[in-house]
DNA sequence: CTGAAAGCGCTAACAT
DNA sequence: ATGTTAGCGCTTTCAG
């Protein structure tokens, strides 16, 4: 626990002024090579680590990026955060994590703007904000970027929800399914636009295939694997149950598969199931899905934030591709009921 | 993006000196109630948020806690981080997140001590460090606490790995299983003590039950659900395969279940499977397991760090309880092969 | 109870 | 190329 060593100590040991030491350590031009070497050597010897607070104060920046997330224990968020943290680490920026747990934490965050003066930029991961919240956020006075959702006109990365939904539903249609159920999951904390896009894709795909839309086949439940299980139960209770089910996320799809198994039904023999995400357990449980690059979205958001800080131009909207991954949970319906396309 | 407002602005508006404004805002004694109210009102009007860097510089603290994790996309880490972040938020501390991805990132972290001067305490989540790393860490000069592993003599929270392992294996033994396989998962990034404890429990449980230890029944694979799948394949290839399998984590257990299903075997009819964790998907897939409180471990670590900062006494070792959760993946062996206990 | 002044550790003109 | 001088925004003695 030896006492903190300052720039002054380094300067003294290197026999230069603090100013020169500072210049040498921050690789400024106009520093004699020999001097620079002497200073670095002194710094190394003393295990000197500059105080970012002090240099930030003097320079007017913090060296930190604030990252705001609504969840941490869900796959997408963890993966996105991994991508983001790797990019920030590479750039030598610190990551300040703000988790908006319940409604109260969320209200407090936007009311108290804790990120103010603490970060050079704010990255929002996977959740939308209302106009009032956006206004508050903008008062923090730093750049804003987001991944997985759009925040006003600020730069953002995400997938095309509509395309992802079409990839999933079109796959089921191609297999010959005509009676396709959809499990919509809502999460008050999340981006309201996400379920919308994925649900609209379902309706559009059915319409394009000439399949009549049956509202009974759409079940909405709050986000959670248990929700998926319950929703599947409801679909099975229908007088004419679906031969295939499209869930908005893999975790929910896995819940549905669980219910089917317990009901003694075969997947995909009796019912096909597809999700969206390509959660690590999807590969394991042989779940067909639409893969989305979560870590890449986080990384791209990080790069955009860094670019904005560097004054470089930033794409306002980056869309990353999704990919249909066909595994063993989807197959043609047992008795092919080909529609009159 | 209105210009940053400083303490000086607040002081001016409240017609007091910056010193008094500072005292009033930090709820010091010896400030007239009227003055205090005037200052707070001014601060509110200007949406003043103090610069933690400046006040930290002056006061000698940072208001931040550094949290170091080896992974983010795995359940335990996300959950622990959630518990930790909630506690820190409550206490008004900021959370600085350091993720040690690959070996290079890890080396850099310990070599460059980026947490130095940036945080008032360091919390290590779920991984052990070697002596050299610990020495470096201690040079950061702030308190250290850990969850999920022990770091020298620093305070830590965790479960009793040995007890957790016994709960799982004893359950299988109680059901009448005598030929029990174990899937050990190693992760170079993680605490080497963890697999040790869980594996030792297996051997001890078998010994106590008078079951001879067959080395062929222990398979070691690197951490990953796929690892679990492969390991199960190997166990199935044995001339006398196990009737039950104990996996060190649920994610791995689920991989094993996948392999069994693909092989056309029934769980638990043909083979019982149990894991450790109580991962959210365990409930869903009806996996028996030993539940461990991940979020609580993170929260406890946070509280310990805060207590240490406050100069309060801190328990050096906190052990949280685990709990056997019996679900549908475990049952008595088909042909009960009672041992000669 | 309040103000003036010094300083936290560093950087950025401004000199030389 | 290097040293000197001001602060960055806040807290904190030390005086009143």
Task: Please answer whether residues B219 and B235 qualify as being in contact, where contact means their C-beta atoms are separated by less than 8 angstroms.
Answer: yes
| Chain C nucleotides reached by a protein CB under 7 Å | 1-5, 7-13
- Tens digit of pLDDT for each residue in B120-166? 999 999 999 999 999 999 999 899 999 999 999 999 999 999 999 99
Mean pLDDT of B21-40: 93
Find, among B149, B147, B161, B155, the residue nearest to B85 by Cα: B147
pLDDT over threshold 50, residue B341: no
Q: What phi-psi label fits residue B203: left (phi over 0), alpha (psi between -120 and 50 degrees) or beta? A: alpha
pLDDT over threshold 50, residue B218: yes
Mean pLDDT of A71-83: 95
Measured at the CA of B104, the angle between CA B100 and CA B107, to 5 degrees, comes to 75
**Contacting residues of B for A47, CB less than 8 Å apart:** 113, 139
Nucleotide with minimal C1' distance from the CA of B30 is: C1
pLDDT over threshold 50, residue B287: yes
Residue with tokens 């979560």, as numbered in its chain: A294
- Model pLDDT, residue A29: 85
- Model pLDDT, residue B226: 85
Task: Please answer whether residues B286 and B327 qualify as being in contact, where contact means their C-beta atoms are separated by less than 8 angstroms.
Answer: yes
Nucleotide with minimal C1' distance from the CA of A32 is: D1
Cα–Cα dist B253/A256, whole Å: 20
pLDDT over threshold 60, residue B113: yes
- Model pLDDT, residue A334: 86
* Cα-to-chain-centroid distance, residue B179: 32
Cα–Cα dist B217/B51, whole Å: 59
SS3 of residue A11 by DSSP: helix
- Model pLDDT, residue A341: 37
Give the confidence band of B192 by pLDDT, cuts at 50, 70, 90: low
Task: Please answer whether residues A155 and A313 qualify as being in contact, where contact means their C-beta atoms are separated by less than 8 angstroms.
Answer: no
% of chain B beyond a pLDDT of 90:
85
pLDDT over threshold 80, residue B1: no
**Measuring CA to CA, how many Å separate A291 from each of A165, A274, A320, B168, B229?**
11, 11, 11, 34, 21
Mean pLDDT of B20-49: 93
Cα–Cα dist A304/A145, whole Å: 7
- Model pLDDT, residue B335: 65
Find, among B162, B221, B279, the residue nearest to A225 by Cα: B279
% of chain B beyond a pLDDT of 70:
96
Give the confidence band of B2 by pLDDT, cuts at 50, 70, 90: low
Per DSSP, A217 falls in state G
- Model pLDDT, residue B102: 86
Cα–Cα dist A255/A260, whole Å: 9
Residues whose C-beta lies under 7 Å from strand D: A 15-20, 23, 29-32, 34-36, 54, 57-58, 60; B 4, 6-8, 18-19, 22-23, 25-26, 48, 50-51, 54-55, 57-59
- Hey, of B50, B60, B64, B73, which one would you mutate to test binding to chain A, going by the most A CBs within 10 A of its CB? B73
Average predicted confidence (pLDDT) for chain A: 93
Residue with tokens 């959809």, as numbered in its chain: A182
**Measuring CA to CA, how many Å separate B316 from each of B134, B158, B300?**
17, 11, 12
% of chain A beyond a pLDDT of 70:
96
Query: Which residue(s) pair with B147 in the sheet?
Result: B125, B157
Mean pLDDT of B286-290: 96
Cα–Cα dist A207/A209, whole Å: 5
Give the confidence band of A339 by pLDDT, cuts at 50, 70, 90: very low
Cis peptide before A208 (omega within 30 of 0): no
- Tens digit of pLDDT for each residue in B300-316? 999 999 999 999 999 99
pLDDT over threshold 80, residue B340: no
Average predicted confidence (pLDDT) for chain B: 93
Cα–Cα dist B275/B80, whole Å: 19
- Tens digit of pLDDT for each residue in A3-33? 689 999 999 999 999 999 999 999 898 899 9
Give the confidence band of B338 by pLDDT, cuts at 50, 70, 90: very low
Cα–Cα dist A47/B108, whole Å: 14
Count CB atoms within 10 A of the CB of residue A160. 16
């Amino acid at each position: 626990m030896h006492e903190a060593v300052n720039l002054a100590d380094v300067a003294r040991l290197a026999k230069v002024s603090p100013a020169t030491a500072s210049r040498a350590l921050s690789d400024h031009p106009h520093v004699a090579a020999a001097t620079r070497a002497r200073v670095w050597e002194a710094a190394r010897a003393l295990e000197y680590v500059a105080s970012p607070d002090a240099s930030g104060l003097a320079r007017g920046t913090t060296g930190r990026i604030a990252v705001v997330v609504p969840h941490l224990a869900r796959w997408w968020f963890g993966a996105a955060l991994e991508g983001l943290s790797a990019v920030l680490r590479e750039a030598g920026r610190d990551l300040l994590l703000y988790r908006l747990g319940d409604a109260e934490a969320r209200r407090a965050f936007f009311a108290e703007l804790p990120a103010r003066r603490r970060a050079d930029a704010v990255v929002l991961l996977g959740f939308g904000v209302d106009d009032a919240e956006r206004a508050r956020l903008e008062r923090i006075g730093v750049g804003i970027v987001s991944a997985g959702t759009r925040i006003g006109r600020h730069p953002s990365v995400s997938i095309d929800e509509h395309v992802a939904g079409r990839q999933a539903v079109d796959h089921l249609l191609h297999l010959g399914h005509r009676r396709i159920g959809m499990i919509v999951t809502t999460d008050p904390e999340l981006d309201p636009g996400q379920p919308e896009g994925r649900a609209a894709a379902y309706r559009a795909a059915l319409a394009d295939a000439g399949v009549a839309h049956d509202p009974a086949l759409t079940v909405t439940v709050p986000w959670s694997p248990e929700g998926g299980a319950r929703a599947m139960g409801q679909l099975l209770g229908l007088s004419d149950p679906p031969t295939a089910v499209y869930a908005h996320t893999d975790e929910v799809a896995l819940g549905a598969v669980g219910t089917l198994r317990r009901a003694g039904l075969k997947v995909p023999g009796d019912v096909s199931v597809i999700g969206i995400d390509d959660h690590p357990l999807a590969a394991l449980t042989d779940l067909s899905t639409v893969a989305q690059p979560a870590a890449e979205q986080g990384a791209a958001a990080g790069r955009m934030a860094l670019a904005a800080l560097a004054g470089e131009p930033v794409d306002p909207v980056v869309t990353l591709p999704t990919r249909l991954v066909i595994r063993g949970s989807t197959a043609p319906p047992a008795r092919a009921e080909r529609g009159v396309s």
